[in-house]
Amino acid sequence: MNKRLPDYLKNEILKIKTKKDIFEISKVIKEKELNTVCSSSRCPNLNLCYSNKTATFLLLGDKCTRKCPFCNIDYISENPVVDPLEPQKIAYAVKSLDLKHAVITMVTRDDLKDGGAGIIIKTVKAIRRNTGCPTVEVLTSDFNGNEKAFMDVADSGINIFGHNIETVERLYKTIRPSSSYKRSLNILKTVKEERSRITTKSGIMVGLGERDGEVFKTINDLADNGIDFITIGQYLRPSLQNIPVQRFVPLKKFIEYKDYAKKAGIKNVFSAPLVRSSFGAEKFFKHSL
């Protein structure tokens, strides 16, 4: 059974829903038939980010070849179509909105030989070639551990390489049944070791049934693998078809997680109930410079 939202979360979500001035970014997204993880995942911060002219563009369509029970993105077993014009469309949106920090993510595409890395690379290059956007962040799938795929993405001209660990190791069979905790750690470790100039970033959801000790262990594992950024946020059930919330983590616990991560050696920690992987990405990146 899903638990009731505590008052502090209701109040924060209400503030975000009253944000205005989202028309411009919505217009560009609709005009170019783009997908954003903001809308596909039913992110509670959508209006706030749109009002600040930020959005996380979702590549390779809006359907995923994996079916993680926490995620609201649609699952498809057949091979979805790849739009070869996506890179140019996203570059157009970045330029039209005069974005100073572009964030691009992707659905998982196990049906593609390179896992979709090629489209990511073309998109980054299109942004670099056609816009004045100074920084580009990617949030990738695990590419089934294909090192060439994720290292080619790392070499495409990005500033931040993000890949979310999402949850503690014990819950992987339930929360991320087609993924591997160790594989995800290895991707982050490899990118940092091989391309130390790139900022690496990962995120954790809490409220899925994990214990505090397991959260601390996950933070340690990320720190041991060279992570520069970590985001920690409360899991909120996107729909009745998704896995229920097991607990609402108290506000003081997010402060505790942040303090622990800082002591573990992670430079930048963003820990609060409504924190998401790319929420406030531009400001977060600037703080690390």
Contact 214, 205 (CB under 8 A): no
Question: For the whole model, what pTM was predicted?
Answer: 0.86
> For 74-101, how does the pLDDT look when each residue is reduced to its tens digit (9 = 90+)?
777 666 678 899 999 999 888 888 888 8
In this predicted structure, the answer to whether residue 62 has a pLDDT above a threshold of 90 is no
Count of domains for the chain: 1
In a domain, 82, yes or no: yes
* Mean per-residue pLDDT of the chain: 84
Q: pLDDT tens digit string along 185-232?
A: 999 999 999 999 999 999 999 999 999 999 999 999 999 999 999 999
Q: Which residue has the higher pLDDT, 157 or 278?
A: 157
Q: How many residues does the chain have?
A: 289
Q: Which domain holds residue 182?
A: 7-287
> Does residue 200 lie within any of the structural domains?
yes
Q: What is the per-residue pLDDT for 45?
A: 47
CB 126 within 8 Å of CB 88: yes
pLDDT band at 17 (very low <50, low <70, confident <90, very high): very low
- Assess if residue 198 is contained within a domain: yes
Phi-psi region of 188 (alpha: psi -120 to 50; beta: other; left: phi over 0): alpha
Q: For residue 12, is it within any domain?
A: yes
Amino acid 10 reads K
Separation of alpha carbons 263 and 260, rounded Å: 5
Query: Is 210 part of any domain?
Result: yes
Find out whether 157 and 139 touch, Cβ atoms under 8 Å: no
Mean pLDDT of 244-271: 95
Residue 213 within any structural domain of the chain:
yes
- Residue 1 resides in a domain: no
| Top-confidence residue, 286 or 254 | 254
Q: What is the CATH number of the domain that holds 102?
A: 3.20.20.70
Label the pairing between strands 199-206 and 229-234.
parallel
pLDDT in tens, 130-182: 999 989 999 999 999 999 999 999 999 999 999 999 999 999 999 999 999 99
Token pair 């949850």: residue: 167
- The two tokens of residue 260 are 């622990």
- The pLDDT of residue 64 is 85
Confidence of residue 61 (pLDDT cuts 50, 70, 90): confident
**282 has pLDDT over 80:** no
Asked, for residue 2, whether it belongs to a domain, the answer is no
